[in-house]
Amino acid sequence: MTTVSLQHLKGKASIEAGYMTLYGEYGKRYNNRALNIPGYGWVPCSRKLQMNFTTSPDELMLVISEPDDEYIPVTSEIWVTRTNVVRIL
């Protein structure tokens, strides 16, 4: 699994919110919240992001599955989620 911070997009490009249809293992369809991320296209949002939604690049990161990962989700190999970095001031 590879993670990519989206902080580099701050002030350069906007992230558009919308929805996309994901397909499960047996063809079941899921209507899922998604973000249109410059350079990556429409990327489905994780449950964590859907529960606490934002489009701020400072608070987002991509999670991309690798071919040798033990678990690869059926519905998508790339997801956008909230960053797990906590800033303490």
The pLDDT tens digits for 9-34 are: 887 878 999 999 999 888 899 899 99
Does any domain span residue 89? no
Domain extent at residue 61: 2-82
For residue 81, is pLDDT > 90? yes
Separation CA 81–CA 50 (nearest Å): 8
Does any domain span residue 87? no
Does any domain span residue 24? yes
- Sequence length of the chain is 89
Residue among 13, 2, 20 at smallest CA distance from 56: 13
Q: What confidence tier does 52 reach under pLDDT thresholds 50, 70, 90?
A: very high
CB 79 within 8 A of CB 37: no
Does any domain span residue 88? no
Does any domain span residue 46? yes
Does any domain span residue 68? yes
Q: What is the DSSP letter of 80?
A: E
Could you give the number of structural domains in the chain?
Answer: 1
Does any domain span residue 70? yes
pLDDT for the residue 8: 83
Separation CA 77–CA 73 (nearest Å): 6
